[in-house]
């Protein structure tokens, strides 16, 4: 694979080897404040019940299952490492309490068209526990036919019979955590899972008719090289999942304790990471995948690729989605949700999470009520991130502003990106070019008011 050519130049990749928000929300989660408390969240839920969105748009649900049996050294997720499965029973009881607090505010049988079980490792739950969780959710919410119901999978924790359970419970989308197929890399990050195991599980999943199968990959891990990652790329192309998520590893051991176990001497240099990214773009697009945007690739007939072609992409805390913009109820420790013009995050430790629910309170510990300026900028940033195009008139009519006057500094800042061919500044709008789509986070960052006053971006991931 050494002769492949990336659709963008290595010079541009190096120039935009920058850190920045992923814009699963705007403002980004680092702007949440502790002044936003459980009472604010309860009020937002109450407004939803009586507001026009009460039944106009189905809800999305996110459930965080924090437990893992073993520690992956690269992990930056909120997790609890344990082999004591009785902890899951206790956690599910508290999840049920949290759901009861929600239904007391918004009523039962609210329609749901999207469910995502994340973690941690949701497949830490055994079949009995998963059935209990889904039964509890279905008693309280109305799951729409044809919705998108996904579960993240640690291949080390399941077999073919468990796939039958997932299908029985209504899951139609699976996401396999792979990261890298190279045995040396797997050993270095403490996540050993033979490629044959993943290939077998994906084949079994296809035989059961799951609607979409995703594979997560990561470049920049210890012991990786462009040549070793080429082999993983070839294996993933042969596996041919419907979707691929390709993430850059960000080494922040001061923030994420598991990363302190990684030998910094084994991390690939910046030039090697750029080469891995360049080869990945060429390999996947050469194999027929569509670059959906921000780490995501999909086969042309996948719903995500179709939505991109038709200008129907949306974005939420789980990334790109085909579902319309809607309220997201997030359940479980550390979960992040959105109700109306507010964002909220639950307590990050089990102790705090349980304590709040024991007191009959929502476990929300921080969040944000969006200002008018936040809403204007969110509309612009999400239009760029999802459609790659902003029409001035639509923003002006929705928010009663003059776009060019309101964003006079931002329009000036777009000039260098225009000169590089990343955007076209039209009379009535901004168009992200085909080349610019690979750097769309850089375009969106121009409109991020918080970044203009805070240039400390080390806490963010790389923008491509």
Q: What pLDDT, on a 0 to 100 scale, did the predictor assign at position 55? A: 55
CB–CB of 110/59 below 8 Å? Answer: yes
- Say which CATH topology domain 1-27+372-464 has: Arc Repressor Mutant, subunit A (1.10.10)
Between the two ends of the chain, the Cα-to-Cα distance in Å is 21
Which residues belong to CATH 3.20.20.70 in the chain? 29-329
Burial of 241 (0-12, 13-18, 19+ CB in 10 A): buried
| Residues 253, 304 contacting (CB under 8 angstroms) | no
Question: What are the pLDDT digits (tens) for 187-218?
Answer: 999 999 999 999 999 999 999 999 999 999 99
Cα 237 to Cα 315: distance, rounded to the nearest angstrom: 26
Residue intervals of the chain classified under CATH 1.10.10.920 are 1-27+372-464
For residue 440, give the nearest of 449, 450, 430 by alpha carbon. Answer: 430
Q: What is the crossing angle of helices 86-106 and 38-50, to 10°?
A: 50
Query: What per-residue confidence (pLDDT) applies to 456?
Result: 52
Give pLDDT tens digits along the chain (464 positions).
Answer: 444 455 678 788 888 877 788 898 999 999 999 999 999 999 999 988 765 555 567 899 999 999 999 999 999 889 999 989 899 999 999 999 999 999 999 999 999 999 999 999 999 999 999 999 999 999 999 999 999 999 999 999 999 999 999 999 999 999 999 999 999 999 999 999 999 999 999 999 999 999 999 999 999 999 999 999 999 999 999 999 999 999 999 898 998 999 999 999 999 998 999 999 999 999 999 999 999 988 899 999 999 999 999 988 988 888 888 877 789 999 999 999 999 999 999 999 999 999 999 999 999 999 999 999 999 999 999 999 999 999 999 999 999 999 999 999 999 999 999 999 999 999 999 999 988 998 999 999 999 999 877 655 545 666 55
CATH number of the structural domain 29-329: 3.20.20.70
Distance CA 188, CA 137 (A): 38
Q: What is the pLDDT of residues 33-73, one digit of tens each?
A: 999 999 999 999 998 876 555 556 789 999 999 999 999 99
């Amino acid at each position: 694979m050494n002769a492949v050519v990336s659709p963008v130049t290595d010079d541009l990749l190096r120039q935009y080897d920058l850190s920045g928000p992923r814009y699963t929300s705007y403002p980004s989660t680092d702007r949440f404040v502790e002044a936003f408390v459980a009472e604010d969240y309860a009020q937002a839920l109450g407004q939803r019940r009586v507001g026009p969105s009460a039944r106009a748009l189905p809800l999305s649900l996110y459930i965080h299952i924090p437990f893992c049996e073993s520690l992956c050294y690269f992990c930056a997720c909120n997790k609890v490492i344990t082999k004591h499965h009785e902890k899951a029973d206790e956690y599910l009881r508290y999840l049920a309490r949290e759901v009861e607090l929600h239904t007391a505010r918004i009523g039962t049988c609210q329609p749901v068209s999207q469910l995502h079980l994340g973690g941690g490792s949701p497949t830490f739950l055994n079949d009995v526990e998963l059935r209990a969780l889904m039964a509890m959710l279905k008693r309280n919410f109305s799951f729409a036919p044809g919705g998108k119901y996904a579960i993240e999978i640690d291949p080390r924790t399941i077999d073919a019979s468990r796939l039958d359970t997932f299908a029985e419970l209504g899951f139609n989308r699976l996401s396999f955590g792979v990261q890298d197929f190279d045995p040396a890399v797997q050993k270095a990050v403490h996540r050993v899972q033979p490629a044959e195991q993943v290939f077998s599980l994906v084949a079994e999943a296809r035989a059961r008719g799951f609607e979409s199968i995703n594979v997560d990959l990561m470049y920049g891990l210890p012991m990786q090289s462009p040549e070793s990652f080429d082999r993983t790329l070839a294996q993933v192309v042969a596996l041919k999942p419907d979707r691929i998520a390709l993430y850059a590893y960000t080494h922040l051991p001061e923030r994420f304790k598991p990363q302190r176990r990684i030998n910094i001497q084994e991390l690939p240099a910046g030039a090697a990471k750029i080469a891995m990214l360049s080869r990945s773009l060429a390999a996947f697009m050469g194999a027929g995948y569509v670059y959906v945007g921000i780490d995501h690739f999909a086969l042309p007939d996948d719903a995500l690729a179709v939505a991109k072609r038709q200008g129907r992409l949306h974005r939420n805390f789980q990334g790109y989605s085909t579902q319309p913009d809607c309220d997201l109820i997030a359940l479980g420790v550390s979960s992040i949700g959105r109700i109306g013009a507010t964002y909220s995050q639950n307590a990050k430790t089990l102790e705090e999470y349980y304590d709040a629910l024991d007191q009959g309170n929502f476990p929300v510990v921080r969040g944000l009520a969006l200002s008018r300026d936040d809403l204007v900028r969110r509309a612009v940033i999400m239009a760029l991130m999802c459609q790659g195009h902003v029409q001035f008139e639509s923003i002006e009519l929705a928010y009663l502003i003059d776009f060019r006057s309101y964003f006079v500094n931002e329009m000036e800042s777009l000039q260098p990106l225009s000169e590089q061919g990343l955007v076209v500044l039209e009379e009535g709008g901004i168009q992200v070019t085909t080349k610019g789509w690979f750097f769309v986070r850089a375009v969106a960052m121009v409109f991020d008011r918080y970044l203009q006053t805070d240039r400390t971006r080390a806490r963010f991931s790389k923008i491509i």
